[in-house]
């Protein structure tokens, strides 16, 4: 099939590369010439394992290319994915769909009567219908169809998630458009993956409700972990005991410093606004956001209590990304921890294998940046693990002991064995685990 993907950002690029790997001819369109030039040199503008390799494989096969030329990009395209960004409006947390609106206006005159436009971006309920209206107002043929096909990709494992999804949701008004879209995903149909055909509005809500559910589930286990700390027991044992109940499930029960990233914070706030626009509210989600926002300062309190205050204390901070395997620092709890430490007078030296550059744009010179984990910790009063990079778990306890001046190891990601820490003569501070 001939496919155009509008947007070479995170969602657009992953979609374009993976769909081309299904054997289709894909043209990836972006208005940002610098970005396209970098991509043409094989440079992926964000850290996503496996994406660059898959991209060059499909370029070599001659079925994937980048362009800034809209005429060329859309010529003969049967399917047009809109995969542009939908950031959170910082003033009120609502969803900014300006890029989607602009993309719809731009592509409208180039569409053919058989074209199907697919919303891949995360957009509020009602957007598919609104996009159709914009397309018609801007010269698209009457018969053009708009389908909602939300993405469920995790940063750091987006390629794997795309090629091996739990489900593919297609929100379409007609069976014909839904069937055509299934042809795009033909290898996944053959492999027996679950396809769910719904109305466009249901598909749009499924996306927000999925992320909100994950946010609530995670916040629940984080509250249980903080309770476990008060009781003095191991929250991982509790999480395991809960998760073995198949109705609950084992996944997403790893206590930590809270959810961050570009998706869960944005989509939980987005859901509040969607509910408001339908004259109702989702109080449980509202509360989860509030609880989540407080976790970094609660964890810094623990550290402060153990160190009799943080004024002038040297902290080696391991991790700045919102989770391991990504360079994304948007709404990162590790950044909130750094800010909270600085606010309380601590001197922070941080290391992250991938996210330092992006973190520097937020934290500037309020903290120091190290070139390695050892450099961050060396001579510090305490080491704090804020992101679960595998390499942090590979630092031995004796190395921590040797490098630190002080005796505190705080692991807010639960990647270190707390008993081993105390056995080595260090004091352990965790999130639901006891030394
Ligand atoms: C999330 C969803 O998991 C994807 O399904 C969705 O497609 C994506 O948002 C999106 O809307 O685009 P992502 O933001 O990459 O993916 O991050 P997750 O892996 O879900 O993690 C979110 C946060 O929860 C991170 O801060 C992570 O450290 C934290 N987390 C997650 C935990 O602390 N414990 C867990 O057990 C799981």
Distance between first and last Cα of the chain: 58
The pLDDT confidence band at residue 400, using thresholds 50, 70 and 90, is very high
Closest protein CA for atom 21 of ligand 1: 259
User: Can you give the pLDDT at residue 111?
Assistant: 97
Question: Considering the chain, what is the average pLDDT of its residues?
Answer: 96
With a cut of 90, say whether residue 364 has pLDDT above it. Answer: yes
pTM of the model: 0.95
Give the mutation target among 86, 264, 414 for probing the ligand 1 site: most ligand atoms within 8 A of CB: 264
Distance 156 CA to ligand 1 centre (A): 10
pLDDT at 176 over 90: yes
Expressed in angstroms and rounded, the spacing between residue 153 Cα and the centre of ligand 1 is: 9
Residue 42: per-residue pLDDT? 86
**Ligand 1 pocket, residue 220 CB under 6 Å:** no
Q: What percent of the chain has pLDDT over 70?
A: 100
The pLDDT of 327-343, averaged and rounded, is 97
pLDDT tens-digit map of 43-58: 888 889 999 999 999 9
- pLDDT given for residue 285 in this prediction: 98
Nearest-CA residue for ligand 1 atom 2 is 154
Tokens representing 410?
Answer: 């705080």
Pairwise pLDDT comparison (205 vs 40), residue with the higher score: 205
Atom of ligand 1 at shortest distance to CA of 211?
Answer: 2
Q: Which atom of ligand 1 is nearest to the CA of 153?
A: 7
Decide if 2-198 and 212-430 have a common fold. Answer: yes
Nearest to 308 by CA among 346, 335, 273: 346
**What is the mean pLDDT of the segment spanning 56-83?**
96
Structural domain boundaries in the chain: 2-198, 212-430
Whether 268 contacts 288, CB under 8 Å: yes
The strand pairing partners of 434, in sequence order, are none
Residue among 84, 153, 289 to mutate when testing ligand 1 (max atoms within 8 A of CB) = 153
**pLDDT tens track for 69-78:** 999 999 999 9
Q: Is the Cα dihedral 218, 222, 224, 228 positive or negative? A: positive
Under CATH, which architecture does the 212-430 domain have? 3-Layer(aba) Sandwich (3.40)
pLDDT at 45: 86
Q: What is the side-by-side strand order in the sheet with 368-369?
A: 368-369, 347-351, 314-318, 382-385, 408-411, 427-430
Nearest atom in ligand 1 to 254's CA: 36
State the pLDDT at residue 46: 86
Which residue minimizes the CA distance to atom 9 of ligand 1? 263
Q: How far is the CA of 277 from the centre of ligand 1 (A)?
A: 26
Q: What does the pLDDT average to over 312-324?
A: 97
Nearest residue to 338 (alpha-carbon basis) of 326, 356, 324, 353: 356
For a pocket test of ligand 1, which of 49, 149, 261 has the largest count of ligand atoms closer than 8 A to its C-beta? 261
pLDDT at residue 158 above 90? Answer: yes
Residue bearing the CA closest to ligand 1, atom 16 = 154
Which ligand 1 atom sits nearest the alpha carbon of residue 261?
14
In this prediction, residue 306 has a pLDDT band, given cuts at 50, 70 and 90, of: very high
What pLDDT, in 10s, does the model give residues 221-267? Answer: 999 999 999 999 999 999 999 999 999 999 999 999 999 998 999 99
Indicate the class that CATH gives domain 2-198: alpha beta
Mean pLDDT value of segment 378-389: 98
- 265 CA distance to ligand 1 centroid (A)? 10
Q: Is 259 in the pocket of ligand 1 (CB under 6 A)?
A: yes
Cα of 238 to ligand 1 centre, how many Å? 21
Q: 292 pLDDT exceeds 90?
A: yes
Distances (CA, A) of 433 to 75, 274, 398: 58, 37, 20
């Amino acid at each position: 099939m001939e496919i155009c993907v509008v947007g070479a950002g995170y969602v657009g690029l992953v979609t374009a590369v993976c769909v081309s790997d299904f054997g289709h001819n894909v043209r990836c369109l972006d208005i940002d010439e610098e970005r396209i030039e970098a991509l043409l040199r094989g440079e992926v503008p964000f850290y996503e394992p496996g994406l660059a390799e898959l991209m060059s494989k499909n370029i070599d096969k001659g079925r994937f290319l980048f362009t800034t030329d809209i005429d060329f990009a859309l010529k003969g395209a049967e399917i047009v994915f809109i995969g542009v960004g939908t950031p959170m409006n910082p003033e009120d947390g609502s969803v900014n769909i300006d890029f989607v609106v602009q993309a719809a206006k731009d592509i409208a005159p180039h569409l053919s009567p058989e074209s199907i436009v697919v919303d891949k971006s995360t957009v509020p309920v009602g957007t598919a219908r609104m996009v159709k209206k914009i397309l018609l107002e801007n010269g698209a043929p009457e018969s053009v169809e708009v389908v909602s096909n939300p993405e469920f990709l995790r940063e750091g494992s987006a390629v794997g998630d795309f090629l091996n999804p739990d489900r593919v949701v297609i929100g379409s008004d007609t069976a014909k458009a839904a069937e055509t879209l299934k042809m795009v995903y033909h290898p996944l149909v053959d492999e027996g993956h679950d396809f769910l055909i719904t109305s466009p509005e249901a598909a749009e809500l499924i996306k927000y409700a999925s992320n909100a559910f994950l946010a609530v589930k995670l916040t629940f286990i984080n509250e249980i972990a903080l309770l476990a700390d008060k009781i003095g027991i191991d929250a991982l044992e509790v999480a395991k005991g809960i998760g073995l109940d198949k109705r609950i499930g084992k996944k997403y029960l790893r206590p930590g410093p809270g959810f961050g990233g570009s998706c869960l914070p944005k989509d939980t706030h987005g859901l509040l606004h969607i509910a408001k626009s339908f004259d109702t509210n989702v109080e449980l989600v509202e509360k989860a956001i509030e609880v989540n926002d407080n976790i970094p300062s609660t964890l810094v309190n623990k550290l402060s209590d153990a160190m009799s205050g943080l004024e002038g204390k040297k902290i080696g901070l391991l991790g700045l990304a919102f989770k391991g395997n990504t360079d994304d620092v948007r709404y990162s709890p590790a950044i909130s921890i750094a800010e909270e430490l600085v606010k309380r007078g601590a001197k922070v030296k941080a290391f992250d294998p991938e996210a330092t550059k992006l973190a520097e744009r937020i934290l500037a010179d309020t903290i120091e940046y190290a070139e390695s984990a050892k450099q961050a910790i060396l001579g510090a009063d305490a080491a704090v693990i804020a992101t679960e990079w595998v390499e942090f778990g590979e630092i031995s306890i004796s190395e921590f002991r040797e490098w630190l001046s002080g005796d505190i190891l705080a692991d807010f990601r639960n990647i270190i064995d707390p008993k081993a820490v105390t056995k080595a003569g260090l004091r352990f501070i965790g999130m639901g685990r006891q030394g």
